Chains A and B, each alone.
Chain A
Amino acid sequence: MFPEAFVLLLLVAFNAGSSLGKDNERFHEELVVRPLSGDHVNTYFQFTTRWHYGEKDNLYHTQLTPRVIAELLQQFAVKELHIGLTQGLWRYETWGYPIVEATSGAEMWAWFSGSNLTNGEVDRQWKELANVFSGVLCASLNFVDNTNSIAPRHLIRPQFMPANGQRFVRYSTLPREIVCTENLTPWKKLLPCGSASGFASLLNSGHVHNTKYHSLGLKVRVLCEDHDEENCIVELTQTANLVYDLRLFELSNNDFSLRRLFGMGLNGFCELADSSKIYVQRNEQGERFQLVPAPTQEVRSTRGGHSVVYSVYDMHEQFKDAGERLFNVAWLSPKSEGRRRNLAKPSLPPVTVHRYLLGHGQERGRIVTEVTNSHYDALPIMVQEVVPWYVHAYLHTLSIRRKPQRVNEYGRQRLPFKLLHYTPGKQRELPSHLEIGFMLPGQTSALITIDVDYLLLKWLEYPPDANHGHYIGAAIVSSQLPMGRNYTALPPEGHLFEHSFNATRPSYVLSLHTEALIVSLPTPDFSMPYNVICLACTVVALAFGPIHSVATKMIIVGRQASAPKNFVKKIFNKIFRRGKAGEEAPAEAEGAVLGAAAAAAPLGPSGFGSSRASRTTGGPSGDQPLLEDLDEEEEEQD
Chain B
Amino acid sequence: MGLLSDPSISTQSKLVDGLARHVRLVCYALYVAGVAWFFCLALPEFNHGTYLSENALSPGLVYPEIRIDANRLAIQLLEELHRERKDHLSTTPHAWIAAKMNEFGLETHTHNYTLRYPFGGGKEYHGKNIYGILRAPRIASTEGIVFAAPYRAASSVHTDISASVPLLLAFADFARRKNYWAKDLIFLVTEQEQLGMQAWLEAYHDGDRDLDVSKAYLRPGNLPARAGSLQAALNIEVQDLEIDHVDVRIEGLNGKLPNLDMFNLVQRIMAREGIASGYKQAPRKKRRHSQSPFEQNLRQMLTMLASQSSGVPNGNHGLFHRYRIDALTIAANRRATHATLKGSPGSAAVPLLKAIEGIARSLNNLLERFHQSFFFYVIVNNDRYISIGDYMPALVALVACAFVKAYLTWSTLPVTNAEQETPAGLVREQEQEEELEPDSEPDKFELPYGSVLIYLTATLLIGFLCNVLPLQQYFLEIPMGAAPLTTSVLSFLSLIGFILPFVVVLPPGGLELLHVAFLLIYGCALIVIGLLNFALGFFAAVLTVPLVISLETKEENSRSTLRNSVRLATLVMNPMMVIYVIVLAMTFYQFPELSLQKIMLRAATAAMDASAYGLIDSVIYGNWLYFVICTIFLPLWIICWTLALSKRRDYADYLDFDESPSTSPQPKVKTN
Contact = CB atoms under 8 A, between A and B. Distances in A.
B83 interface: no
Contacts of B367: 465, 468
A467 interface: yes
Contacts of B221: 408-409
B315 to A, nearest CB: 20
- Max chain B C-beta neighbours (<10 A), residue from A175, A212, A356, A525: A356
Contacts of A29: none
Contact of B206 (A94, A343, A354, A359): A359
Contact of B179 (A91, A245, A465): A245
Interface in A218-248: 245, 247-248
Contacts of A449: 208
Contacts of B224: 408
Contact of A409 (B103, B222, B226): B222
Interface stretch (B40-48, B138-146, B654-662): B138-146
Given A39-B105, A516-B142, A358 B205 contact: yes
B139 A88 contact: yes
Interface string B176-194: 1111000000000000000
B405 interface: no
A432 interface: no
Contacts of B177: 247-248, 250
11 contacts: A87-B140, A88-B139, A93-B107, A245-B179, A247-B105, A360-B323, A361-B324, A401-B208, A465-B367, A467-B371, A520-B229
The 3 closest A-B pairs by CB, nearest first: A104-B140, A467-B368, A89-B140
A527 B53 CA distance: 12
A250 B210 CA distance: 45
A39 B111 CA distance: 25
Nearest to A474: B140
B171 to A, nearest CB: 15
Given A38-B105, A341-B105, A409 B219 contact: yes
Interface string A391-415: 0000000000100000011111000
Contacts of A467: 368-369, 371
Contacts of A466: 368
Interface in B210-224: 210, 219, 221-222, 224
Contact of B143 (A343, A368, A518): A518
Interface in B104-121: 105, 107, 111-112
B82 to A, nearest CB: 24
Interface in A436-452: 447, 449
A304 interface: no
A401 B210 contact: yes
Interface in B80-138: 102-103, 105, 107, 111-112, 135, 137-138
Interface string B155-179: 0000000000000000000001111
Contacts of B29: none
Nearest to A210: B179
A363 B71 CA distance: 45
A115 B174 CA distance: 61
A64 B46 CA distance: 75
A368 B208 contact: yes
A543 to B, nearest CB: 30
Given A39-B105, A87-B138, A211-B137, A366 B208 contact: yes
A105 B141 CA distance: 12
Nearest to A469: B229
Task: Report, as a range, how many residues of chain B touch the other chain.
Answer: 35 or more
A531 to B, nearest CB: 14
Contacts of B210: 401, 410-412
Contacts of B205: 358-360
Contacts of B143: 518
A212 B135 contact: yes
Interface in A238-270: 245, 247-248, 250
Contacts of A211: 137
A94 B103 contact: no
A519 B229 CA distance: 8
Contact of B226 (A39, A356, A401): A356
A357 interface: yes
A518 B142 contact: yes
Given A211-B137, A516-B142, A360 B324 contact: yes
Interface residues of A, number: 53
B228 interface: yes
B208 A410 contact: yes
B413 to A, nearest CB: 40
Interface string A359-389: 1110000101000000000000000000000
B207 interface: yes
Nearest to A250: B177
Interface string A64-106: 0000000000000000000000111101011000000000110
Nearest to B324: A360
Interface of A: 38-39, 86-89, 91, 93-94, 104-105, 175, 210-212, 245, 247-248, 250, 341, 343, 354, 356-361, 366, 368, 401, 408-412, 447, 449, 465-469, 471, 515-520, 523, 525, 527
Given A408-B112, A520-B229, A465 B368 contact: yes
A82 B449 CA distance: 74
B225 interface: yes
A1 B137 CA distance: 35
Given A343-B103, A358-B205, A358-B207, A89 B219 contact: no
A412 B207 CA distance: 14
Contacts of B322: 360
Interface in B401-438: none
Contacts of A86: 140
Given A88-B138, A354-B226, 5 more contacts: A89-B135, A248-B177, A358-B206, A360-B324, A401-B208
Contacts of B176: 247
A367 B205 CA distance: 11
Nearest to A249: B177
Nearest to B206: A358
Contact of A520 (B225, B369, B372): B369
Contact of B137 (A104, A245, A527): A245
Contact of A248 (B137, B141, B208, B228): B137
A521 to B, nearest CB: 12
B208 A515 contact: no
Nearest to B322: A360
B222 A408 contact: yes
Nearest to B211: A409
A211 B225 CA distance: 22
A155 B228 CA distance: 26
A469 B231 CA distance: 11
Nearest to A449: B208
Interface in B310-328: 322-324
Contacts of A401: 208, 210
B345 to A, nearest CB: 26
A6 to B, nearest CB: 31
B37 to A, nearest CB: 24
Given A248-B137, A358-B208, A518-B228, A410 B222 contact: yes
A515 B105 contact: no
Nearest to A94: B107
B371 A525 contact: yes
A142 B322 CA distance: 39
Contacts of A412: 210
B635 to A, nearest CB: 29
Contact of A91 (B135, B138, B228): B135
B239 to A, nearest CB: 31
Contact of A88 (B103, B137, B229): B137
B102 A343 contact: yes
A517 B105 CA distance: 25
A368 B222 CA distance: 12
B577 to A, nearest CB: 37
Nearest to A89: B140
A541 B111 CA distance: 56
A160 to B, nearest CB: 30
